[in-house]
Structure 1
Amino acid sequence: MIDSRPSDIFKPDQLINNTYRIEGVLGRGGTSEVYRARSEISGRLLAMKVLKSEFAGNEDYLVLMNREEAMRDIRHDAVVRYSENHRTPDGHVYLIMDYVDGPGLHELLKKGGLPAEDLLVICARVASGLAVAHGRNIFHRDLSPDNIILKGGKPEQAVIIDFGIAKDDNPGAETITGGEFAGKYAYAAPEQLSGRADARSDIYALGALLLATFRGAPPDVGRNPMEVMRRKAMPLDTEGVPEPLKSLIDRMTQPDPDHRFQSAQEVLEAIDPAYLPDEAALQPTTLPPRRAGGATGSAAAKPSASAATAPPADTRKSGGRGLLLAGIAVLALAGAGVGGYFADWLDPMLGPPRADPYTLVVAFPAEGAPQAEGHVPDAALRDSLAARLAAQGGEARLALARGDIPDAWGEGIAHLVETLDPLEEWRIAATGTEVEVSGMTRDRSLQERVNFALAAPVPGDLSVRADILLGPVRLPVEEVDGILEAGADCGPLAQIDAPETAYSLGERIAVAGRIETAATRDTLYDALTAVAGDRPVVLDLELLNRGLCLVEETLAGLPSGGFELRMGFGDRPDTNPSGRYYVGENPVIDVVLPAGVTDGYLWVSIVDVKGAVYHLLPNNNRQENAVAALRAGRDGTVPVRVAYAVEEAQGNGRLAFLVDGNTLGKSRVLVLHAAQPVFDDLRPTSESADSFTEALSEAIAARGGTGGITADSRILVTAEAN
């Protein structure tokens, strides 16, 4: 994603039409902006293309954005899936499509490009997608590296996006830019400069972008129109490109379209089978193309090969005007039919019209009015749904229609509605007998009951794919903070990599910190999972004793002074980076004074596993703790020993200790530094954690705020030998 700007149409975290939560900006173009959004109902990531306000009222752009939505009839893994077109209450028109997560070829091109083997795989994958679009007389006309994304970074998962200027050459169809040139000069076929485009234009662009991605640099097509025209009339320079990619690109990018591959299928046939997609990708499922007025038939469902390979059609405005007027006339006739369609006055004579595909969408969002739109087989289901929506202030736009559905189709839909109704929000999207169901609840037991019910056979032999989520859709970070604050018993607990405002569904909640008892861990986990819904909860908690926890709470908020604690052994020169000691070993501890700390006073203590505090510096036997005296004239970083080898401590009052089996576990070595002595008087050599933390709290409070005191510490662990 890219950085948000104040001028953007939508802002991060904005909720659009009570359904789509904006997460960030994916790109900006001349007429539109593209956002990453998440469905509040299903939790799925989506891409949202929004017309800029200056175009949202332009009927040409609205008609043509609807043409882009019509791309949803194409079902192929290499073609981005479009789903629906909407308008916000304030007039912004947007189009919803799949979010494809991965780098664009333009990003990889800038990083030096890709090897020939990967580009052959990409060529086969993209060509198989183009073959389907071309079979519907839909041409992309703007293929370029930034319009191909490698899902998950995999060449075999290449996806074509942005059919924003795609042209549908079915009768009456329009284009985003009329009949004039559309596309990028660097990759556009020569004929596109004259306003002509067909399947072979996309083949040229695919070859040009493959060459650019191999070289890691876009084609140089000149700096002015005359130079562009001259260079476009010449073959592309493929010298240095290895075979078989070179010959493939040469054939794809011939300046004369008649000398190129004549169809995307021909491109596929010229590629070594080792680089081809699976058979399933080469023979995708497509919906039948629409005829004027919405009718379909066998002829429309099976376009001839000549439709994809026909010579370039003249799409200049002089010829497009008649088609547009014809389209308006057809639309007027269709409009008259629609009146009868909803009034049912033609039904006695003709029966309900036939719908292909037969679709129905019913949505009950958590916020906002419910809606239903599509086809129903009988008045009973229509009226039942309309009444249910009206009771909640919703609207039903339902039409009686015939279709290729079982007799019990309506009964199955009614069954699904009753099953989903207890959920906080839900949606049914049916195309024929294929039904996608999504919903959300905060009640785990209800989620389980609904999932169990949806797993059973549904009347009408409906094939149901269900996604019932455990909410909430958005879990505020503040709510998690409240749980952590209430459950903390050993200093503050922190969220790891928390989002800025709220957790999305599926996003991990990770917590780190220290706790006093295992029971605290269980209580925290239960409290978090109770609100987390479909989000994993991970606790990275360190279990400390009560004395250590008292110290942690007292030190909370004190800054670090940059003091290092080094540990070693009394009987050998080895260092001990782990800070772990076994029974019988003699820990040696040095405090390293930072080079920049030349004055003030130190206080060094150990809080042991039983909650006792031992003061290493100062104490009755070693009262000098001024930094200047400890440095003794030395510059830079200076180590100061505070726990000695047993032999060093013989008869001189220095502190040394051996690990015994009675005090195993975690202790904390603590270093305090301040401009003035932390305490007014010497503390006893040892005392309880309660008395020490009480005195320290009073010292901090007396100074106000942190009182200029810094704190650094390190855990020391004692254990039985293996």
Structure 2
Amino acid sequence: MKESRPGDAFRPGDLLNNTYRIEALLGRGGTSEVYRARSEISGRVVALKALRSEFSGNEDFLLLMTREEEMREIRHEAVVRYYDNQRTPEGTVYLVMDYVEGPDLEHCLRDGGVSAEDLLVIGARVAEGLQAAHSKNIVHRDLSPDNIILRNCKPEEAVIIDFGIAKDTNPGAATIVGNEFAGKYAYAAPEQLSGRTDARSDIYSLGALLLASFRGRPPNAGSNPMEVLQKKGEPLDTEGVPEPLKSLIERMSHPDPAQRFQTAAEVVAAIRGGAAPAAPAMDDRTVIVPAKSAAAKSPGTGAAEAAKAAGKTPPKAKKSSLPLVLVLLVLLAVGGGAGVYFSGILGPSLPVADPYVFSVTKAEDGVPEASGFAPTEEVQRALSQEIARQSGTAELSLAQGSIGDGWGGDVALLLSTLATLDEWSLSVNGMAFTATGTTEDAAKEESVTALLSTDLPGGMSGTVDITRTTRLLDAATLQPVIDQIADCGPLVQQSAPPEGYAETDRIVVSGRLADNGSRVRLFDALRAAAGDREVVIDAEILNPALCLIETRLPSAPSGGFDIAFGFGDSADPNPSGRYFVGENPVIDVKIPAEVTDGFLYVSVLDVSGHVFHLLPNQSRPDNSVGSLRGGQAGIVPVRVAYGLAEAQGTSNLAFTVDASSLGKSKVIVLYSKAPLFATLREISEPAADYAQALADLVTSGTAAVATLDSRILTTAQP
């Protein structure tokens, strides 16, 4: 347990929403704090994850909390159970989840590790939890020992926690060179370093954390960006790990996702069956030469020779679908075995080139064009194939010159790294190079610069000048993305610059959405299209029933009809419009002073999907403004929902909030010069029926809505 601090969101003894009593602070993170609390209603112990006050108004962090809340759909004993997000009157947002009692694997790791037998039990249990999450298309992305808790200290009761800590939907290169994943990328899969994540990435992380838990220390992920890329392309060191845990970890953590278990279900089956299934055979698209293979021992051995040694067809030139890190390592292996390129090995048959040059230029929206020299046929072929994978052309002549053994591998690394940029050029002279390029992606700019600003593995060094460009983003290109997700009327971009969004501009979308899921989808879609620009979804969240009516309501201006909320048991107003279970809402509609004739229609669109007609209805059929005024001038309040005591013995409508239909309802006030409907509508009817009736008004043209006013009424548990 942690000691409380003055800046903490909650303190022991605090009572939240009349339900949860804070008992202790469990831990602090960069954006949130976790507390143990107890429900004073049921006595159940829960964990509360509270978003720190400085982040409670930040849309990005609120969306992450929403994502984590959606984990409640996953029902499995190996996955922590989530409930819902709540907000205190002071504005602190917190997430309610199960409280899991027990140590985490990080604690066990620091204490010297866990036995192989227990890790097999933990591995099967966690894989079952991942299988449940993956079936809902949810990938953890950051599985590590501190996210696995052993409930009651039992391996067979391992529980996965914290599905909401991903800092960005695109983990990209910044996760290597930045500090955001400090200490975490020891468990990240190689493809995550280039922004690609799927279920197999979680399987890699599970294998890495099992290895760490056995050894009592994390895997060695390198101390700088170059080492990280190299280490992630190599198998994890499982020396000394007993079988079958050793083979299991090796299959789970293979650098190539295609060579791992493809699903968590396969992991479970392998452990339950006592042995890991055989790895799938590699196809002819990729040859990854292990560090101790024959290719690494013999000078002059490249990708084609490695493939022949393995009995496979040499790789064909085609556009690579591998993530950046794997392409880098393939080419390093190809070039690294090229041997010594100066006199004494190649003999006098090759001409001497002085200077020994190699250059490539790739224009924006163009393809790379390479020319220059290569020291061996293997290096010539490897470099030409890399250029061909990028749909370019290469004219390389064989020659010897003053270059080191690692020249081919270093040039291959330069090509693969620069290929991620929008436009670039590379000029090599002997063992020195000059690399320039541009990109719109800040992470790529940072990553490529960091990778190439140190001496390369083969001894080459040079200068790097990567600049970031900014393009204006046309608002018109975003609107189709927005329209595709709009499910509650039109969504609009607020103050969209006519010339387009600059990189520092904020994209703000307003309107209405049916639920938080739509909000998350819209946010994710815009973030994918907006690059580094800030995205804000300033939309009112309703519900599907309200949205059905919203899309059918006639277009009409506000008439100035004020809707006031109060309480049936007191004279106090309720300006928030928020009511809890058991409370008795009172609703008054104030007729503006200038409105002296016409007809008034007041309805409540309930969260359950029904419409309740407060005025007119069978017990109160007269809705003419003249009658409602009763001879009074000025602003006249008309009560349409009464207090229970006030309605006793009358036909007036009164209601209390019950727990069967909590959420947002909408009070709608329609004003017209003539009656809208030929007959009285039932007091209650399905929202779909009323929506159709409103649509018929518009199409028939028999009556028109002059003005429309509305206000949200929210019901919730105390």
Shorter-chain TM band: 0.3 to 0.5
The two structures have a TM-score, normalised by structure 2, of 0.43
